[in-house]
Every structure is written in structure tokens, then in C-alpha cells.
């Protein structure tokens, strides 16, 4: 089995050395889901009722979250990401919000952690904005959907 590259041969954690890797265009797409009560979802979806833009605030938080990745995840490289978008889809039938983030860079290493951190931060923000009316919100299904660029080539997740 392959190795955990974030440890050296003595088992010490380290920031993986990417000094000699080629700078290429890299993209990562991640998703996540926030499940809540139907009444809570209605407050988010119909701004006429609640008057507030929950998803607008969560989008800003998600984009800023991507930039905070190297200060949150210990072994992540500080990177000059060149694009971040965070989008939402309201699924009334299953009473949930789907979050998808897309992060790009021209650099020496991939941006999947940035995409996942964007999704997590947006999801936590939705939770925070709605927790006064719903304490049973659940954040889940956070995973990488797609990754391209770099030596390992294209990855497409088997997750639906």
C-alpha cells in the first residue's frame, strides 16, 4: 500500500516537499450537503419570508475559508489560488442545501483541501445563520468530486 506522504520515514509529520514539482493549472471541485427541517429550508429559500440572505453570507464565508486553508490545515502549503466559486442548490424534496465549490491555481500542488475547506466553512455558516430556529441541522457528504492538473491527472469521484 502507498504511504502517507505527510510523514517522513521516522513518522514525523512534515509539509511535503513540492519544490521541484512543475507549476501547472490545477482545478478541484468539492461538495457537501446541509440537511435541516423543511421550515428552516423555506426560510433560506424564500427571502421574502426571512428577508435575509443566508446563502449570500455563506458564499462569502466559503470563499474566504478557501484562503484560510493553510492556516487551518497544518500540513497544507500556502498557495496563490487564482479562482474560487461556491454555489448552492436547494433540494426541497430532501430538505437540504447542496454546496459545490470550485478552486483553481497555477501552481506546484493541488487545491483539493482549499475546495473542501470552502465547502466546510460555507456549511458551518449556514448552520450558524439558522441555528436559532433549528438545532438539528446536519452537515454531511463532504467529499472531492473532481481534481485535474498535475502528474496524477484527472480524478473523478465515484460519489454521486
Site string (56-95) toward a copy of itself, x via CB under 8 A: xx-xxx-xxxxxx-xxxxxxxxxxxxxxxxxx--------
Nearer to a copy of itself, 94 or 131 (CB): 131
To a copy of itself, the closest distance from the beta carbon of 151 in angstroms equals: 13
Q: Is 135 in the site for a copy of itself (CB under 8 A)?
A: yes
- Report d(CA 41, CA 134) in Å as an integer: 10
Q: Active-site residues: which are they?
A: 128
> Which DSSP letter does residue 23 get?
P
Q: Figure out which of the listed residues 91, 92, 140, 154 binds a copy of itself, where binding follows CB under 8 A.
A: 140
Q: Is 154 in the site for a copy of itself (CB under 8 A)?
A: no
Q: Is 129 in the site for a copy of itself (CB under 8 A)?
A: yes
Q: What angle do CA 52, 50, 94 make, to 5 degrees?
A: 100
Can you read off the three cell numbers belonging to residue 22? 512543475
| Structural element, H or E, at residue 65 | helix 54-72
Q: Is 115 in the site for a copy of itself (CB under 8 A)?
A: no
**3-state class of 98 per DSSP?**
strand
Q: Is 137 in the site for a copy of itself (CB under 8 A)?
A: yes
Identify the bridge partners of residue 107 per DSSP, sorted by sequence position.
24
Amino acid at each position: 500500500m502507498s504511504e502517507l506522504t505527510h510523514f517522513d520515514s521516522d513518522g514525523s509529520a512534515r509539509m511535503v516537499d513540492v519544490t521541484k514539482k512543475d507549476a501547472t493549472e490545477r482545478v478541484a471541485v468539492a461538495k457537501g450537503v446541509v440537511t435541516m427541517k423543511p421550515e428552516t429550508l423555506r426560510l433560506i429559500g424564500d427571502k421574502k419570508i426571512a428577508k435575509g440572505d443566508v446563502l449570500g453570507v455563506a458564499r462569502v464565508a466559503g470563499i474566504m475559508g478557501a484562503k484560510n486553508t493553510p492556516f487551518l490545515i497544518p500540513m497544507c502549503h500556502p498557495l496563490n489560488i487564482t479562482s474560487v466559486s461556491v454555489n448552492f442548490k436547494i433540494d426541497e424534496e430532501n430538505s437540504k442545501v447542496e454546496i459545490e465549490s470550485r478552486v483553481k491555481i497555477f501552481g506546484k500542488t493541488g487545491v483539493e483541501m482549499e475546495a473542501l475547506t470552502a465547502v466546510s466553512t460555507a456549511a458551518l455558516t449556514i448552520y450558524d445563520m439558522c441555528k436559532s430556529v433549528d438545532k438539528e441541522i446536519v452537515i454531511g457528504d463532504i467529499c472531492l468530486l473532481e481534481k485535474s492538473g498535475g502528474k496524477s491527472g484527472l480524478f473523478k469521484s465515484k460519489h454521486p
